[in-house]
Structure 1
């Protein structure tokens, strides 16, 4: 094959290296069937640098080869200086590469877009720049202690269900929940799904992405994604099976970090006042934190953990963190207080124990299809219950 020598060449490339590569440039600007097949196979392998590939591809496609309208060197330098003042920490090499592509841009507007795409996109956008986070900020009145699952379609239409685990699906024309079907024409730009403690939900988005939503979770997402990117907001816990789309990266935004993928399976837990984590099952993801220059890339069975501003990456058994979608909770030498807090959310009951009891360790597999009483009995715990509260002693 003509391009066989390139097979493993690009797996560690950053965006500026793609933009310096003759084969990549020619493939993007003058694609052939063979080069398209090569890059299609590259993206299907979902390498850890897939985000860098997308950025380089976007900047090339955004710039027309119109040498006659090059910016003067002085204007290019001034523009770069203004952008670099905002985006600190980028290397001189990247500056030279971006400067070249700005030089062949059609005009100042194209230059600004292109440079921001390659220099600024890896980091989370600030609230003022980000549409979905602005929407979330304006609609923060969420009651997770309610007993009903709420799907907020618009200010005028809210669907409420008592189901323990309602299934919701978006297709090309309608929003479906049980026997209810709503035309997308009745929907606002963004929908909200609020799953209280004691309930779960399963959601299929308009692109085919499947989301398992755990108890105590708030999701915000557009009824239809744009042609260039897919973004949702999560507070709580979800498991995602992302529909693969090379041209539209999928971004999960949380209060503390962003997760960027193309097509993969992973779990996200971002409960307030708890350790936040991302656990990867398959594919790869890139995690960006505001104020952090270095992105974190995960491979399968790795976890990114964030606690009190400190982050770390470590090897884990992903099944332990995702088994809840199958009605199981796998515990491996975990503190009892952690187990009880998770059970409290899942069953929607308050569970109290003494600090000493909470430090006890336990291991095993809990069947979440059983009642909370049965779970506590299986853990050999003594307890009293009443008024929606369990007291362990």
Structure 2
């Protein structure tokens, strides 16, 4: 993982690589680093320079090596005073839908500020904005399904709201010595959060299924994940918490981590705090904070590398975040969120995309941003076709 302060200083000096610059842009999207980035900017200020001068200097330096970043941060030509830009600059990547395309040594850009709507306006469930709501389905052992809404209050789950977020509190049954296996399902275009009976909090991404014993009978607290979830595990040394997903297991005592395990895709585990043991049928790796592990389908190897934490945090902030992502990876994310089949034609994974896009945008708007890189074309099958599908091509 890069050192944030070091890369920030390299950017100011105009000596960081395009990959490092892209990493910095992705980091700007993470609100948890806002105070730290403000501190770096304050340190960069020279008492001899006015705010406007320092901003002009930053833009001059960035223009020499990274014109894409200048365009990203200003939306094109500088039309506002530098003194106003200083308050907006570090988080412009999060506030605007920006996509950067790197092809070899060349760079292309697409900004929502340059986006104009053309052609026929499409209004259907795939194109309409998908605003995140706390809405999930709880399936009981007898097959009964309970729709959870913001006002739900049942013997199995109760809706709760705090200053920060909304979640559902799963309840223990009176006969807690017997297993009570339940399953939470999150529909496409939505996310949600639950608190399990042991106090563990789980954020669930779109299209995710989580199966668990509400009473946690036995020597371990085992949950089964298909999809993506962020866990803040309640500490219990005598009763480890275990996440089973695809071909791997994650074993923890008490920690914060993200697990991404959609069906037929690679399984990724990212550790934020504490320590976890990731295992397959023949391998075992211990992760430390800031590391990610990857297990590919049908493979027992566990690859460990530094994590891009901004990407992990993005989905909980209702954003797509990509760092040097191939078009295939982007297609998978769009498919999960909008609930439509996305196919990629050609050698699209030779291109790398870096940027942040709000999930409040319609599918059509996201596809238009891709198209405006000048490298991507797309087709949407018409209504009446046997299957609804988006095709991305070079």
TM bracket (short chain) = 0.5 to 0.7
Q: Structure 1 unaligned runs (5+)? A: 1-147
Computing the radius of gyration from Cα coordinates, the structure with the larger value is 1
**2:347 is the counterpart of 1:356:** yes
**2:160 is the counterpart of 1:175:** no
Please tell me whether the aligned partners of residues 337 and 359 of structure 1 are also in contact (alpha carbons under 8 angstroms). no
In structure 2, the partner of 1:234 is 225
**Which is further off, 322-331 or 226-235?**
226-235
The DSSP-based 3-state class of the residue aligned with 1:383 is strand
2:306 to 304, 308, 315: 315
In structure 1, the partner of 2:198 is 207
**Which is further off, 199-208 or 179-188?**
179-188
Please tell me whether the aligned partners of residues 175 and 184 of structure 1 are also in contact (alpha carbons under 8 angstroms). no
**2:155 is the counterpart of 1:155:** no
Shift of 1:174: 4.3
Shift of 1:282: 1.1
**2:169 is the counterpart of 1:191:** no
In structure 1, the partner of 2:286 is 297
In structure 2, the partner of 1:252 is 243
CA 1:245–1:181 in 2, change beyond 3 Å: closer, same or farther?
Answer: closer
Q: Distance in 2 between matches of 1:333 and 1:220?
A: 33
> Residues 227-255 of structure 1, C-alpha deviation per residue, up to 9 Å, x if partnerless?
74311111221111112223321111223
CA 1:183–1:224 in 2, change beyond 3 Å: closer, same or farther?
Answer: closer
CA 1:218–1:181 in 2, change beyond 3 Å: closer, same or farther?
Answer: closer
Shift of 1:348: 1.0
CA 1:358–1:196 in 2, change beyond 3 Å: closer, same or farther?
Answer: farther
TM-score, length basis structure 2 = 0.54
CA 1:218–1:320 in 2, change beyond 3 Å: closer, same or farther?
Answer: same
Q: Structure 2 unaligned runs (5+)? A: 1-134, 161-167
Q: Distance in 1 between matches of 2:170 and 2:324?
A: 45
Greater RCO, CA 8 A, separation 6+: 2
Q: Distance in 2 between matches of 1:211 and 1:168?
A: 18
RMSD: 3.2
Question: Aligned pairs, how many?
Answer: 239
Shift of 1:177: 5.0
Please tell me whether the aligned partners of residues 208 and 225 of structure 2 are also in contact (alpha carbons under 8 angstroms). yes
Please tell me whether the aligned partners of residues 193 and 220 of structure 1 are also in contact (alpha carbons under 8 angstroms). yes
> Residues 56-109 of structure 1, C-alpha deviation per residue, up to 9 Å, x if partnerless?
xxxxxxxxxxxxxxxxxxxxxxxxxxxxxxxxxxxxxxxxxxxxxxxxxxxxxx
Q: Distance in 2 between matches of 1:256 and 1:168?
A: 34
Give the structure with the larger helix fraction.
Answer: 1
TM-score, length basis structure 1 = 0.54
CA 1:231–1:261 in 2, change beyond 3 Å: closer, same or farther?
Answer: same
The DSSP-based 3-state class of the residue aligned with 2:347 is helix
In structure 2, the partner of 1:392 is 392
1:270 to 256, 261, 270: 261
CA 1:149–1:175 in 2, change beyond 3 Å: closer, same or farther?
Answer: closer
**2:278 is the counterpart of 1:287:** yes
Shift of 1:183: 8.4
Please tell me whether the aligned partners of residues 169 and 194 of structure 2 are also in contact (alpha carbons under 8 angstroms). no
CA 1:169–1:204 in 2, change beyond 3 Å: closer, same or farther?
Answer: farther
CA 1:301–1:183 in 2, change beyond 3 Å: closer, same or farther?
Answer: closer
The DSSP-based 3-state class of the residue aligned with 2:335 is helix
Q: Distance in 1 between matches of 2:306 and 2:291?
A: 5
Shift of 1:155: 1.0
CA 1:337–1:359 in 2, change beyond 3 Å: closer, same or farther?
Answer: farther
Please tell me whether the aligned partners of residues 246 and 263 of structure 2 are also in contact (alpha carbons under 8 angstroms). no
CA 1:256–1:344 in 2, change beyond 3 Å: closer, same or farther?
Answer: same
Q: Distance in 2 between matches of 1:169 and 1:384?
A: 44
**2:215 is the counterpart of 1:224:** yes
